[in-house]
Amino acid sequence: MKRPMRNVSIVIFMMFLSLFVSSTTIQVISADSLSQDPHNVRSAYDGYKVQRGAILVGGKPIAQSVKSDDVYRYLRTYGSSIYSAATGFSSVYQGSTGLESAMDSYLAGRNSSQFFEQISAVLSGVPAQGASVELTIVPKVQKAAWDALGNMQGAVVAIEPSTGNILAWVSKPGFDANDLSVHDGEQSTAAYNELLGKTGNPLLRKTDSELYAPGSVFKILVAAAAFETGKFSPSSNLSNPSKFQLPATNTYIQNSGEGRCGGQKTVSIATALKLSCNIPFAQLGIALGEDTIASQAEKFGFGSIIKTPLSSVASVYPSGMDKAQLGLSAFGQFDVRATPLQIAMISSAIANKGLLMKPNLVQTVLSSNLAVLSAPSPAEQGRPISEKTANALTEMMVAAVESGVSTNGSVKGVTVAGKTGTAQNGPKQPYTLWFTGFAPAENPKVAVAVVIADGGGQGQNGRGNSLAAPVASKVMKAVLGK
């Protein structure tokens, strides 16, 4: 009799243990992720019982909750489409995206740091109020970036190199989150479906959630990889034919203009970057090898999800390439893909003497009684390149803006370091246009990346210098007060 009782006792104990482990996992370990899951409808409904905290830029709300006359008590409202890539949306029907999702536990008053407020709410019967989140975005810089893109599809990311703080975070086309946050299910769903069908996919953040062929802006990274080996310098010469047959293929590549880049039989790496020569960089990439370039790309952040706290997609440097593919990858073609955030990080590290700071969108999180719950400090992500390499790249990028192919990125009275890119996407497909750089070159206050998709409406006629560089110039001017 004792043995069956013992077995039953063991089974009951194991059941209680399983229940304890699962409930602890749900209530403690997975609480934040479950509350942020857009499919968690109960969490969404509960979120409307409290006044959700505001998202602020320059001290003014760009997203806030106001009282409503229906069962939800509060309606989420948004100030401008300019900030849609940052805020995302919060909808009882469509879930949440952007910072509304990433910072949900704070905004909804459920973060562990708000424990005493939660206890007070239980005892008083008055729902806790969510915390407000102040962003690092600078209003005038954000507006300058938004206006400069005009009707073009694309994105702008501007970063303060010394801190990693994000000064502008723009994705176009944007969207009006008020259309999604309404308390009418049919209206919200109709608006959501309409956005899904719109040209340019407004709901997809082009700042960090869409990958583009980087084209010639990737030459900066390849030059960095070359210098870091210690075997190359800016003055190292490369062969400069008018066309180059890719190894083991019948395919020839040419420079822009289809001649010798600079007119000489050989060209230095510095001149090749200044004039954006494809053939010399293809040969340099083959000489370096896939592993060397991949290692350098990884140090800059390729292959990693970057959290700002928004989660990016990982930029891609392909593996297992033959020499022909490797040559194409060295000037940002083949299967190389990057986000604007990633390209801005490369310029930011160069501007900061080789030290890469973690990009960050959140300045402070304040409770309803104005207590500081979180205030992220500048944090180092790593040192992808030496100060010597950073200085060399800076000089080369300055030359590209002053007398090379990136002249439209200039700012009067300021020394700008920069590089343009015009990436091909296949026969008859519109080009992807880029500019990345920083200013002032001697004491950088801003690093910027601009991408323009769909050829800027000009198909294969647009160029990085004609369309992307002027956008970057206006952003840098806004930061520098020019």
Instruction: Look at residue 106 and tell me whether its pLDDT is greater than 70.
Output: yes
Q: What is the mean pLDDT of residues 229-256?
A: 94
Q: How confident is the model at residue 263 (pLDDT cuts 50, 70, 90)?
A: confident
Residue 371 pLDDT: 87
User: Are β-strands 132-135 and 55-57 bridged in parallel, bridged antiparallel, or unpaired?
Assistant: parallel
Cis peptide before 127 (omega within 30 of 0): no
User: What are 271-283's pLDDT values in tens digits?
Assistant: 999 999 999 999 9
Q: What is the mean pLDDT of residues 116-139?
A: 78
**Contact indicator for 343, 213 with CB cutoff of 8 Å:** no
Specify the 3-state DSSP secondary structure of 191.
Answer: helix
Residue 384 pLDDT: 98
Residue 47 pLDDT: 57
Instruction: Look at residue 207 and tell me whether its pLDDT is greater than 80.
Output: yes
Specify the 3-state DSSP secondary structure of 252.
Answer: strand
Sign of CA dihedral 279, 280, 286, 291: negative
Count of C-beta atoms within a 10 Å radius of residue 250:
6
Number of helices (H), then strands (E), belonging to the chain: the values are 18, 19
Q: What is the mean pLDDT of residues 208-216?
A: 98
Q: What is the mean pLDDT of residues 296-314?
A: 98
Q: What is the mean pLDDT of residues 357-374?
A: 93
Residue 439 pLDDT: 98
pTM of the model: 0.89
Q: What is the mean pLDDT of residues 421-449?
A: 97
Separation of alpha carbons 315 and 338, rounded Å: 4
**Sequence letter at residue 221:** L
- List residues bridging with 238 in a β-sheet: 267
More confident residue, 120 or 57: 57
What percent of the chain has a predicted confidence (pLDDT) above 90? 80
Distance, C-alpha 109 to centroid of its chain: 27
Residue 369 pLDDT: 83
Count of C-beta atoms within a 10 Å radius of residue 254:
14
Q: What is the mean pLDDT of residues 3-20?
A: 71
Residue 217 pLDDT: 98
Consecutive H or E run containing 118: helix 115-124
Give the chain's mean pLDDT. Answer: 91
Residue 12 pLDDT: 75
**Contact indicator for 452, 478 with CB cutoff of 8 Å:** no
Separation of alpha carbons 309 and 464, rounded Å: 29
Q: What is the mean pLDDT of residues 366-387?
A: 93
Separation of alpha carbons 1 and 13, rounded Å: 18
Specify the 3-state DSSP secondary structure of 383.
Answer: coil
Q: Which of 113-122, 192-201, 363-372 has the largest mean confidence?
A: 192-201
Q: What is the mean pLDDT of residues 348-362?
A: 98
What percent of the chain has a predicted confidence (pLDDT) above 70? 89
Consecutive H or E run containing 63: strand 60-67
Q: How confident is the model at residue 14 (pLDDT cuts 50, 70, 90)?
A: confident
User: What are 381-431's pLDDT values in tens digits?
Assistant: 999 999 999 999 999 999 999 999 999 999 999 999 999 999 999 999 999
Residue 261 pLDDT: 85
Q: How confident is the model at residue 366 (pLDDT cuts 50, 70, 90)?
A: very high
Q: What is the mean pLDDT of residues 363-382?
A: 93
Q: How confident is the model at residue 17 (pLDDT cuts 50, 70, 90)?
A: confident
Residue 457 pLDDT: 95
Instruction: Look at residue 3 and tell me whether its pLDDT is greater than 70.
Output: no
Count of C-beta atoms within a 10 Å radius of residue 231:
11
Catalytic residues: 216
Alpha helices in 420-468 (DSSP H): none
Consecutive H or E run containing 433: strand 432-439
DSSP type of residue 38:
T
What is the CB-side half-sphere exposure of residue 103 using CA atoms within 13 A?
33
**Contact indicator for 336, 329 with CB cutoff of 8 Å:** yes
Separation of alpha carbons 360 and 277, rounded Å: 34
Q: What is the mean pLDDT of residues 66-72?
A: 90
Residue 122 pLDDT: 58
Residue 37 makes CB contacts below 8 A (sequence gap 6+) with 43, 95
Residue 98 pLDDT: 98
Q: How confident is the model at residue 335 (pLDDT cuts 50, 70, 90)?
A: very high
Q: How confident is the model at residue 238 (pLDDT cuts 50, 70, 90)?
A: very high
Q: What is the mean pLDDT of residues 118-144?
A: 83
Separation of alpha carbons 349 and 105, rounded Å: 32
